[in-house]
Structure formats: C-alpha cells, structure tokens
A and B are shown apart, each in its own frame.
Chain A
C-alpha cells in the first residue's frame, strides 16, 4: 500500500495538450474516483500513472518514489481494463497467475496465492475454465483477480464496469467496494458514470477538458459544487440552472420574484441560481419558477414534473399522489439554503 501524488502533470500529443498541469494527493488506502465526460483526460491520467504513456512534464509519485522514468512493471501498480483484457487462450488459473509470472515466488507459493485470490473473489470452482465459458461478471472478477494477485500498492481501474449490464454493474460496484474495505489498497477508479463515482468513492475527482474541476467527498461535490459544471454533472436528474440578478441585496429572479438570501452579493451581478430537482417543488414560498407543466414522469412515491420557463425545462419533484396536471400553471419554490449561487460569467460558485 502507498500514497500517490500527482504534481503539475501535463500531457501533450504533438501540439494538442490534453492535460493542463493537474495536481492531486491520494492518501494511502484511499478510494479515489476520477469522473468526467468523454475526452476530459481521466483515462489519460490513469495511463500516465500506470506508465503506459509518458508524461510531457510533471511528476508522479507512488509511495514517496518518483516513478516517471520507471517501467509499468516497476511502479508497483496493477490495472483492470475496460474490456477485462483477460487472455482467451488461458484458463482462469493461468490468467490470475499471469501477474506472478515474473515474480520470484516459489511455484507452491504462487499456487497458494492464486487459490487465495480466487477464494476472495468466489471463483475457486472456476479456475479450470476458459474465459469463453464465463459470464461478463465472472470475467470482470478474473481481471480483478489478476490485479489482486500481485498485491500492488495502487490498483488502477479503467471504466471496468461499463461493459456490464445495469444489474451486474450495481452488483460489481458493491463487490469492488467490499473488496476495497477488505484489502485496503489504494484505488484509482476511472468512470464516466457519476452514480458509480458517488457510490464508491472516498473522494471524487471531477475533470473536464484536462482540468480538475473539484476534488471532494461525494457529499461535498453534491452539496457544495465548485462550479456549474460540477453541479450539473453530479446528480440525476441534473441541477436546474436559473438566471438572476443581484438587486438591492436580494436576488431578482427571471420569474419576477425576489429572493432575499440574507448574504451579501455584489450589487448588479448576474448570477446563475442552481437548484436540484429534489429541492424544487410546487408550493407556497419564494417563487423561483413559474410556468406550465409540460410533462409528468410518475415514479410512484413522487412524480417528476417538467415546467417550461425561461426558455428551458425546469425539473421539479411533486407529490406522487396528487401531482399537478399537464398544462397546469405552477409556481415552484425551494428552501433558501438549498440554492446554489454561481457567477453567471465564470460559472464559479459564489455560495
């Protein structure tokens, strides 16, 4: 086990810079999830940590040792790939044991280690099988087993669940989390799925266009997003973004109502007010949005309503039993402490 640090990491392909000097400290035994849309640089960062690509500049430190110039095998890491990368021509036993080929352990020790890992992953009776005889989830477990067998300082997961169906994904998510609690190694996990990030991570790193947008616990990034990108990326359905202006110390909403937040904001400033659908509901209170219901999505205990306002569709949650009718004019409100205020120009959080 070891901690990991990235300092001013830059990656350039010819003239295109894809990582613009990112820095991050990961503690020993921490489960860190990199999340972001396609092309945000999360997989590139992982590949740089693994040593599959060379950093243009910056440092990668694993366990206090700068590893930039070390081969992948010498970095004390193991990686689980998106398409598993388990060898179809080898049995499960050989696949799991593959990582020990170059180790100096005795044959008996290697076999014992493979059995131990297979036991942890519940695959002891599948060791003689070939990958073609395994289900998707089992193949994924073999891939994890191959990484585990070497007991690396850092585990790297590159979107390992994206090839699985929804049910299996949920199950594997739980298994990986349990595995982490059990073995305690440092894990860097890359995904584009914010639900995976929220449910698994000790800390989430949200990336966009080669920059880190925010690093924080799932609760922090959800409740205190650093900017509009994070606010919209984390949480489903996405956070509603409304426009407003600060006037006379209060928020003047586009809906015409005035909301007094009780905090000082620069006069005349244009702001974006973020409010999560679960915090926004029809009712009395400061009217953040007014408009007709365009669509209803009943979920049983509650109903999502889409309200047309400010040239967009605002999502709110209504009661499951007596939701407003489609076409009905509604006023949506939210508790003031659930509002997120962002600078309209930069998108950075003001509160």
Chain B
C-alpha cells in the first residue's frame, strides 16, 4: 500500500472536520438566558442615553430612538454651574474615601490576619457583625452625631461613615491570608519594621484586592444617595446623585436632565473600571481560589 492510497482527499477531510451537530436544548436555553440577562443590563443604560437625547414632551414615550434626537440637555447641564460643583464634590468624596479605605481596611485586615493577639477573633467577628446593620438604621445616629460635632453640610460629614468599611476589612483580611508568612518573616529578618513590611512587602502582593476594593468603594461613594441627601443642606454641598435628583420641581421631574447628568456621571466610573478591570478580574479569580 502506498502513501497516496491512504491519504484522504480534501473533500473527505472537509466532510469529516465539520460534522453538523444537532441543536442542543441545553445550549439554546443557556444562550437565551444569557441574552435576556444582557438585555436586562443594557436596557437601563440604553434608556438613560436615549432619554438624555429627548425633548421633555417625549420623555414618557418609551421609544428607544427619539423622534428628534438633540444635545440641548447636555448643553444645559454642562452650562449649569451647579453640575460642576456636584461633580467636584462627588469626586473629592469618592477619591478621599477610596484612599482611606485602601489604607485603613488593609491595615486592619493585615493586623487581624498576620498578628496573633488575644481577642483577635472577637475583634474580627465584631467588625463582621456590623455588616448586618443596614444603613437605614445607622443614618439617624450618624445625623445626630454630625449635628453635635458640627459636621452637617461638610465634606467630613458626608465622608466619615465610610472612611473604613467592614466589608473592605473582611476582603483585605481574606486576601492577606494568601500572602505566605515566609514573606513577612523574611522581611522581619531583613530588618524592616512592621509598618514597612505592610507597605513594601504585603501591600504590593495584594494589588488585585486593593484594585477591587478601590473600585467597590469608589463606585459605592460615587453613587451614594441617602446619606449625602440627609447630611447636606446647601445646593453647593450636594453630591452628583443628590444634585441630579433635584433637577425639576415637585410637580415635574426633569427626567431628560437627570438622565443627561447620570450619563455624564458614569464617565468617571467607566474610567476607573477600565483602569482597574484587569486587577478586578485577577482579584475575583484569586478570591475564587483562596476565598
């Protein structure tokens, strides 16, 4: 038998390589569910942008494509001086809170994870248990406290409840568990003090977690509504979500302006996400492995 006799022809290869698979019901169901999930997630964004391009009389018409799309709303919002105030307020609050969370949550998480001291477990449980208290319950004590300390209508007043979070502490503690003690002990032998070890050795090793935490905290504060609404009185101190909700009056909510402001305000969150997304994916993967 020669080689040519056993070599299949091109036709035969094509036939064998692409067999038609019968439609798999499971797969169809999976794709349908994914498609529906995708639509559910994209629709609010699509309507936000669509509404921001509509005239007021068109707002309650649920058509996705406006009859007369225009950019007047954007001009109006951007020319309205208040919007810039709110934007700057939100940015200051979100950035400072994020930085504080990254530092404080990781310091506490690191301490709870890498140091053995009496009551360590109790402290950890106490911190975790605060996760079970809803914000709505805390708002009044926070308000009374702010009033007594004179923090109402100040940046500090808006920020203080969120400078450190139980969730962030828990997240960082869990990630520090993945840092082998050998790294820390090696640094200790090399003569670094505990703060230096935390900063130069431990922190760089949990960058994905820090990025994930930064995104969570930034988004959480950027979109925070209830507490900033309660603690601020003057329009200049409003954050974006609070400010946007004030567009229009009691009789008529200016949805097209709110949606325009919302569309603009998503830009920073998109930027933050794009910068850190590779870390957050890494972080989620790590959490999955070690969680």
Which of A's residues lie within 8 Å of B, judged by CB? 50-52, 71-73, 77-79, 81-85, 87-89, 98-99, 101-103, 146, 150
Contact = CB atoms under 8 A, between A and B. Distances in A.
Nearest to A156: B189
Contacts, number: 54
Nearest to B203: A89
Interface in B181-206: 182-183, 185-192, 201, 204-205
Contacts of B183: 85, 87
A89 B204 contact: yes
A101 B205 contact: no
**Interface core residue of B183, B188, B191, B204 (most chain A CB under 10 Å):** B191
B182 A81 contact: yes
A103 B191 CA distance: 9
B188 A52 contact: yes
Contact of B189 (A73, A82, A89, A103): A73
B180 interface: yes
Residue from B188, B190, B192, B205 having most chain A Cβ neighbours under 10 A: B190
Contacts of A150: 190
A52 B188 CA distance: 8
B205 A77 contact: no
Interface of B: 180, 182-183, 185-192, 201, 204-205, 207
B12 to A, nearest CB: 45
A86 B182 CA distance: 9
Given A83-B180, A85-B180, A88-B205, A101 B186 contact: no
A102 B192 contact: yes
B180 A87 contact: no
Given A87-B201, A87-B204, A50 B189 contact: yes
A72 B189 contact: yes
A87 B186 CA distance: 10
B204 A79 contact: no
Given A81-B186, A87-B201, A73 B180 contact: no
Contact of B188 (A73, A101, A146): A73
B185 to A, nearest CB: 5
Nearest to B183: A85
Contacts of A85: 180, 182-183, 185-186
A89 B191 contact: no
Contacts of B182: 81-85
Contacts of B205: 87-89
A72 B188 contact: yes
A88 B190 CA distance: 17
27 contacts: A52-B185, A72-B188, A73-B188, A73-B189, A73-B191, A79-B186, A81-B185, A82-B182, A83-B182, A84-B182, A85-B180, A85-B183, A85-B185, A85-B186, A87-B183, A87-B201, A87-B205, A88-B205, A89-B205, A89-B207, A98-B187, A99-B190, A101-B190, A101-B191, A102-B192, A146-B186, A146-B190
A85 B192 CA distance: 15
A52 to B, nearest CB: 5
Q: What 10 A-B pairs come out closest when comparing CB atoms?
A: A73-B191, A102-B191, A85-B182, A85-B186, A89-B204, A81-B182, A72-B189, A99-B190, A85-B183, A52-B185
Contacts of B204: 87, 89
Most buried by B among A51, A79, A146: A79
Contacts of A81: 182, 185-186
A83 B192 CA distance: 20
Task: Give the residue among A51, A98, A103, A150 with the most B Cβ atoms within 10 A.
Answer: A98
A12 to B, nearest CB: 15
A200 to B, nearest CB: 22
